[in-house]
């Protein structure tokens, strides 16, 4: 087998009310270069991966082993070079991108015994939810569920003129810490609110009703509980639409905040507002305009 490259995109999950079930991919990537050889080498590259293991304990290599386990085959030896421009612990699916890239690379190294649907199921069960791994694998906007019967999904092409603006603060927030603040039980009213708004959001995205996004993205399941962990989040959720955003949400577990915008409109006003919120809360960070990645994970054979 010849060498190959796998590239998996970052992702933003939840989008407000779609907790653990809705996400989209954005063009920041984890890239693996895999060269078959007689011994295994794991080589993280670049400052962003400083401190990650240089051996078989590396998360990417462990993901490759998941593919081999599901296929019931031993994983062939290879040199695996890892690069990533997905910021770690920021709510942009860095672990999902590494996981999906690793499973896809392992599957390729084995001769592709696993279908894309099985790859998704392996990734979703490892993560515990499909909201990041599904868009990382398939691109676009994905609604997905995980249960004892399997992982099921619907992929949506991004609506015309829809893109995202992300505010990426210069601090990390672990998913475990962000999950620890969530209540163990919710009221019926909150459950109905979540179900109705998640359904409206999925429907609005599927037919391109950009005017509904601000209303559909309301959430009482996780964002109000996580807001104290992300200074300025509450202000952005309530006010971003006044500054050009179509809607706003905490990206995954945070601290990144995602705003939808219309590509026909200038985002300068939105950028100014987001930088103002950061400054008001004593934070620094980066604001980026990004298209929605419509491709997902790709394999390039050399």
Give binding residues for ATP as ranges: 87-97
Q: What angle do CA 230, 46, 278 make, to 5 degrees?
A: 20
In 3D space, the residue among 87, 85, 83, 119 whose CA is nearest the CA of residue 100 turns out to be 119
Which residues contribute to the annotated binding site? 87-97
Q: Which of 218, 188, 170 is nearest to 15 (CA)?
A: 218
CA pair distance 28, 84, nearest whole angstrom: 8
């Amino acid at each position: 087998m010849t060498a190959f490259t796998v590239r998996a995109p970052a992702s933003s999950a939840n989008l407000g009310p779609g907790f653990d079930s809705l996400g989209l991919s954005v063009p920041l990537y984890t890239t693996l270069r895999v060269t078959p050889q007689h011994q295994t080498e794991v080589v993280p590259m670049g400052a962003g991966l400083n401190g990650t293991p240089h051996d078989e304990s590396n998360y990417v290599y462990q993901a490759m082993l998941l593919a081999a386990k599901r296929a019931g085959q031993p994983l062939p030896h290879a040199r695996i070079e890892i690069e990533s421009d997905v910021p770690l612990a920021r709510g942009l699916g860095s672990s999902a991108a590494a996981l999906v890239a690793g499973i896809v690379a392992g599957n390729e190294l084995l001769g592709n015994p696993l279908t894309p649907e099985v790859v998704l199921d392996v990734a979703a069960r490892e993560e515990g939810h499909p909201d990041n791994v599904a868009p990382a694998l398939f691109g676009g906007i994905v609604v997905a569920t995980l249960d004892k019967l399997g992982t099921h999904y619907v992929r949506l092409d991004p609506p015309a003129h829809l893109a995202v603006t992300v505010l990426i603060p210069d601090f990390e927030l672990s998913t475990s810490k962000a999950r620890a603040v969530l209540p163990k039980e919710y009221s019926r009213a909150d459950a109905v609110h979540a179900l109705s708004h998640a359904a409206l959001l999925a429907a609005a995205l599927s037919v391109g009703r950009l005017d509904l996004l601000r209303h559909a993205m309301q959430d009482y399941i996780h964002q109000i509980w996580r807001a104290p962990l992300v200074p300025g989040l509450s202000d952005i959720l309530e006010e971003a639409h006044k500054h050009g955003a179509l809607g706003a949400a905490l990206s995954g577990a945070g601290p990144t905040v995602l705003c939808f915008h219309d590509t026909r409109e200038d985002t300068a006003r939105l950028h100014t507002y987001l930088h103002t919120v950061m400054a008001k809360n004593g934070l620094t960070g980066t604001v980026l305009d990004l298209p929605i990645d419509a491709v997902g994970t790709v394999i390039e054979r050399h």
